[in-house]
Structure 1
Amino acid sequence: MKIKIKANTFLIALISISGLFTSCSGQETFGNQYLKLEKVIPLPGVKGRIDHMDVNVNEKERIVYASALGNNSLEVVSLLQGKVIHTIGGLSEPQGVAYLPKQHEIFVANGGNGDCYFYDAGTFKKTGAVHLPSDADDVRYDSIQGKIYVGYGEGGMAIIDAVTKRLTGDIKLPAHPESFQLDIPSGRIWVNIPEAGMIAMLDEKNQKITAEWRIHYPSAYFPMAYDKKDHRLFVGCRRPARLLILNSENGKEIATYLCTGDPDDLYYDSSSRRILISGGEGYVDIFQQQHADVYRQISYLPSRAGARTSLWIPTSKEWLIAAPARLGHTAALLVYKMSN
């Protein structure tokens, strides 16, 4: 036990010390007062890329579900115990995942075969399945209406009833959708469609595209977050690495900022008015929203090479960064705490 504690402490110190150096892009790191690495949770035996995550925030459980795409598994991780407590294997490149608290189930979207599975979150037994044509990817869950949204294939947004476990809607898109955000009251959905060179606004009720905003530079936009109060979309772009800010009502570009390379997850925390970005370059960003049109980068810190995906837990101000096995390191969840 002492050896594990010492190794874990050393790893945290090593990651923290690396903040003294500059990134491969030449930008100096700064802002470590805003983010503290609290623990590193190993993911033993997990190989390859790690995709999206979700969490059961119940204080007595605090369970994270991590889609280990390259490992064809879903890793069930206890934040309280600091370890993997179960692995659901035999999946086909799992990408999106959602915890469904009302029915205590887990929903997993498989990119390899398009299958979407439901599992009992207590027994981990499969309770249902919905097949999509191919490449089931990012997932959103609307707990109010009991709907699950899944971007998939060469151009589709599937809508699944979480209770009946049946496909109830399908919005056709011009190419594969990446990250998307919902506005439940208005029934609108914003979605990144980089292969088509656009961000689209969808009408869920009529199941159609209502606006197309052509964006050619910066390109390769994958993650997205939404500020409902100020009507802003935050989009992470890879070519070049930029944070793009748009008016969600009309698609007007508000601002563009340099950000970490290879961004894959992006969050907006409404209570602190901060934007959090994780990138595969091995760095994370925090931007402070000063008002709807002006933002300031307040933190740029090292995480680990390849750690593209992350999960923000607003209730506890924890930011989980998924680090794949690389350069002699075991795959792990890096658990950070954001301060004011």
Structure 2
Amino acid sequence: MPSARAGWPVLAALLILLTGSAGAGDPPLVLEATIPLPDVGGRIDHMAVDLAHDRLFVAELGNGTVDSIDITSRKRSSRITGLKEPQGIGYLPARDLIVVANAGDGSVRLYTATTLAQAGTVDLGEDADNVRVDATTGQVLVGYGAGGIAVIDPARPAKIADVALPAHPEGFHYDAATGRLYVNVPDRRQIDVLDRKTGQRVAAWSPPEMRSNFPMALDAAAGRVAIGYRNPARLTELSTADGAVTGSIPTCGDTDDIFFDAVRSRYYVSCGEGAVDVIDRTPEGLVHHDRIRTVSGARTSLFVPELDRLFVAARAGWFGGDATILVFRPTP
């Protein structure tokens, strides 16, 4: 007899199709597929993509695993096990390496993506979190601990530098053109701006009455950095020149990822309440385009411009059912 769990991906897709868009007209995101993640329990964190080999890597924090997903066949192809709360993840195409940051033991582990053989470990002590890859140098940036961003040389592998922060960093981005790091520091209710070369803080921005700033998106071309706040739930856009607020708008609750779609001039805000908010940047300011229903707890996502797809991670249901990756196609 088929189990209830086996039917969860179909049920989740049906529910989203039926309840889908909270607005009128054609939705800005269309559910194209669901990719089942069998035997994945607990919270799912961040994702990374290997474009050359059509692979999606998923950090499954509550399960202690990373799954490698074949995007074309929409199936899991392999798995890394034995991890300690993996949350941040990155991919280095020049070396075919997966970088996994673990909250549980503070380690950053490197794996050859093709074989999933371990290629090294860098111990950061505690709470290794978000991962960013500096495409200009091939170095890896990892937020960690009570306040720092480690600079890792994957060739050794080893930590070669540290950027100090006043508290634990959450979402951050690096603008290679200006050499600046923009870092969410929610325990201080601020966004720190740092000079990557000197490690010195050049500014700290704190929009009033805003707390719990976790995700961030950077539109370097337009000179804008977007911050996702949880209390109150808002997307706030700042000028990278001076931190001036250029727009602010309410969003769905419990956001953990934000991405900017430069082609359509819109933001995708994924939220744990079970929605993705689509927000347009217009000459008149930020405008709420639509709210796309997902699944409760599906707060992490990855927008891949090269594929023109938004991947949303939906954890397993409380009463059974597989975790899934929801694949959305933006329109028009």
Change (3 A) 1:313 1:159: same
Q: Unmatched 5+ residue regions in structure 1?
A: 21-27
Matches within 5 A, 1:158-237: 158-237=150-229
246-255 or 147-156, larger mean C-alpha shift:
246-255
Match of 2:297 in 1: 306
Look up the equivalent residue of 1:309 and give its one-letter code.
Answer: T
Change (3 A) 1:118 1:238: same
Instruction: Give the aligned residue type for 1:314.
Output: P
Alpha-carbon RMSD across the aligned residues, in angstroms, is 1.9
Between the aligned partners of 1:237 and 1:30, the Cα distance in structure 2 is 26
Task: Establish whether residue 256 from structure 1 lines up as the match of residue 248 from structure 2.
Answer: yes
Report whether the alignment pairs 1:239 with 2:240: no
Q: Is residue 15 of structure 1 aligned with residue 16 of structure 2? A: yes
1:53 aligns to 2:44 (yes or no): no
1:97-144 deviations in Å (ceiling 9; x for gaps): 111100111110111111001101111111111110210000100122
Mapped pair 1:106 → 2:98: yes
Paired residue secondary structure (1:207)? coil
- Where 1:316 maps in the other structure, the secondary structure is coil
Q: Equivalent residues in 2 for 1:34-73 (5 A)?
A: 34-58=28-52, 61-73=53-65
Shift, 1:6, TM fit: 8.7
1:270 aligns with 2:262: yes
- State how 1:274-289 maps to structure 2 within 5 Å: 274-289=266-281
CA apart distance, 1:207: 1.1
Does 2:136 match 1:144?
A: yes
TM-score (norm 1): 0.92
In the alignment, which residue of structure 2 is the partner of 1:315?
306
Q: Which amino acid aligns with 1:12?
A: A
Deviations 1:67-100 (A, max 9, x none): 0000011111111111111110100000111111
The whole-number CA distance in structure 1 between the counterparts of 2:69 and 2:313 is 12
**Structure 1 residue 29 displacement after superposition:** 4.2
The residue type paired with residue 322 of structure 2 is T
Label 1:294 to 1:6 Cα distance change in 2 as closer, same or farther (>3 A): same
Q: What's the secondary structure of 1:320's corresponding residue?
A: strand
| C-alpha distance in 1 between matches for 2:47 and 2:9 | 22
Alpha-carbon distance in 2 for matches of 1:146, 1:126: 19
> Structure 1 110/8 Cα, relative in aligned 2: closer, same or farther at 3 Å?
closer
Show structure 2 runs of 5+ residues with no match.
none
Q: 1:304 is matched by which residue type in structure 2?
A: V
- Taking a change above 3 Å as real, the CA distance of residues 270 and 296 of structure 1, as seen in their structure-2 partners, is same
- 2:233 alignment partner AA: A
**Aligned residue type for 1:44:** P
1:132 and 2:132 correspond: no
- Give the partner amino acid of 1:16: L
Distance in 2, matches of 1:30 and 1:45, equals: 37
Tell me the equivalent position of 2:327. 335
Q: Does 1:325 align with 2:316?
A: yes
What amino acid is aligned across from residue 63 of structure 2 in structure 1?
N
Give yes or no for contact 2:314–2:326 (8 Å, CA) kept in 1: yes
For residue 163 of structure 1, what is the amino acid of its counterpart? Answer: A
Checking the alignment, whether the CA contact within 8 Å between 2:47 and 2:58 is kept in structure 1 is: yes
Post-superposition Cα deviations, 1:232-269, rounded to whole Å, max 9, x if no partner, equal 11111101111111111111112210111101000012
Per-residue deviation, residues 214-241 of structure 1 (Å, max 9, x unmatched): 2352210100001112211111110111
User: Is the contact made by 2:59 and 2:88 (CA closer than 8 Å) also made in structure 1?
Assistant: yes
The offset of 1:13, in angstroms, is 2.5
| CA apart distance, 1:299 | 1.6
Query: What TM-score results when the alignment is normalised by the length of structure 2?
Result: 0.94
2-structure distance, mates of 1:182, 1:14:
38
Measure, in 2, the Cα distance between the counterparts of 1:51 and 1:73: 11
State the alpha-carbon separation in 1 of the partners of residues 34 and 248 from structure 2. Answer: 33
State which of 73, 78, 82 in structure 2 corresponds to 1:86. 78
Greater relative contact order (Cα < 8 A, sep 6+):
2
